[in-house]
Each structure stands twice: as C-alpha cells, then as structure tokens.
C-alpha cells in the first residue's frame, strides 16, 4: 500500500498525560523538534481527538494502547477502536493498531481508511521482556506486511547486543518487500537502536518530550535525540 505520509518521517515525540490541556501544551512545545507527534489516548483520563487536531501543526499519530500490550486503556475493545476511528475521521496523519487486535476490528478500521486516504495505518507488535528469534521476528513482520497496514512497527526489549542486531536486521527484509518499518529495542541496552534505526532505513524513531514522561523504557529526551542525530549526520 502507498504510505500517505512522506517517508521517512524521522522523529516521533510520544505525549502521554492525564489531562487533555496538559497534553496539548506538551505536544505544541515538542513541535520544535518533532516530525510527528504521537498522542497516547490511553493515558488521557477523558480522551479527545479534536483539541489536538485544532491546536497542533505537525502530523499527528493517535495510539490507544490496551492494557494487554503495555498500555493503559482498560475498557472494551470496541470502545478503544472507536477512538481510533474518530481520529481517522479527523484525517490525522497516522493511527497505531496492535497486530494482536481482533481481525474484524482491524477490518473495520481498514474500511474507514479507504474513505480517509490521508491517514496511514501502523500495525504494531511489542515485547516488553525480551526479543524473539530471527525466525519469529520474520514471521511477525510477514504478518504485518499481509495485514493491510501501510507501516509496520516491531519493538522488543534488548537483554544483550544480539537482540539489538536481530531487530535492526529486520530492515533488510522490510526493504526487500518495499514495506516501511519502525524497528528498535527498548531498555538501556536497546537505546542505541533508537538512533541506529534511522541511519539504517527505519521509518521513524520515538522520543520522550523534554520535561515529559517516558511511554517506553529507554526513550531519549527529544532535544538530546535531535542533537545526537545532528552529530551523526555531520559525521557522514
């Protein structure tokens, strides 16, 4: 599928707050450094879409992560997906849906995306304890390629450097299939992969807002991440 948002997107700043006004303010403050702003709807006590669409100028990614995949949304799946459908109806740049989501709910979202072609779908998969084998990762990536998504996202936890290498190697398979992929490792050992993925063809990497809280272990403050990427580019 053609990706509506120009690739690569670069740096995505992930905003997670309890109150909408606080999240909007943090999102706007982060626009100086961000290519994309992720709004973690599952962190909001009363999630809304429109305030972000009205007040933010950078492309918006809406994510509503369920508790069963490391997020905070505790409600029924239909209600969770409904918020993503609202985001698509506002023609946001991207929405994130977990690969483990029920196929019928994924189909419902894909049907709406046919009428809102400005929005790209990220199909994501996370492992918060480790990193599967290369064969298992390849199978997950193949499922994402076949899912109808515009972009894949595979994020695992690095327990040693071999985990990092396996994740980064997925870019080779993604490139062979002309499939944009977000792939890196969480945790202290995986922090280097948040930089390396951009240099190796990854679609984008994620950072924490300056003064904000992490949405995943090992996230780097966005101003620091930008400085590191700048230094790497100059080193070229």
Give catalytic residue positions: 126, 153
Peptide bond between residue 186 and the one before it cis (omega within 30 degrees of 0): no
Which residue pairs, CB below 8 angstroms and at least 24 apart, start in 30-34? 30/209, 30/210, 30/212, 30/222, 31/56, 31/57, 31/58, 33/207, 33/210, 33/222, 33/223, 33/225, 33/226, 34/58, 34/207, 34/222
- Please state the φ and ψ torsions of residue 120, each to the nearest 5 degrees: -100, 145
Residue 31 has a CB neighbour count (10 Å cut-off) of: 13
Alpha helices in the chain (DSSP H): 20-30, 50-55, 77-89, 103-113, 134-145, 161-176, 191-199, 222-235
Residue 116 to residue 109: CA distance in whole angstroms: 10
């Amino acid at each position: 599928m053609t990706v509506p948002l120009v690739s690569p997107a670069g740096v995505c700043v992930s905003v997670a707050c309890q109150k909408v006004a606080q999240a909007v303010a943090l999102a706007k403050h982060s626009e100086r450094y961000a290519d994309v702003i992720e709004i973690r709807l599952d962190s909001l006590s009363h999630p809304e879409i429109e305030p972000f669409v009205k007040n933010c100028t950078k492309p918006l990614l809406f994510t509503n992560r369920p508790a069963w995949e490391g997020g905070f949304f505790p409600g029924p799946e239909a209600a969770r997906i409904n918020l993503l459908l609202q985001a698509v109806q506002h023609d946001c740049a991207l929405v994130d849906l977990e690969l483990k989501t029920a196929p019928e709910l994924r189909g419902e979202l894909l049907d709406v995306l046919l009428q809102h072609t400005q929005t790209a779908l990220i199909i994501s998969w996370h492992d918060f304890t480790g990193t599967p084998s290369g064969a298992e990762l390849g199978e997950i990536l193949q499922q994402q390629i076949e899912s109808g998504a515009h972009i894949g996202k595979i994020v695992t936890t690095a327990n040693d450097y071999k985990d990092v290498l396996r994740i980064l190697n997925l870019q080779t398979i993604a490139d062979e299939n002309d499939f944009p992929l977000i792939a890196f490792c969480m945790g202290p050992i995986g922090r280097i992969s948040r930089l390396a993925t951009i240099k190796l063809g990854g679609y984008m990497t994620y950072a924490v807002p300056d003064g904000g809280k992490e949405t995943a272990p090992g996230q780097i403050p966005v101003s620091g991440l930008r400085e590191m990427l700048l230094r790497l580019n100059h080193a070229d």
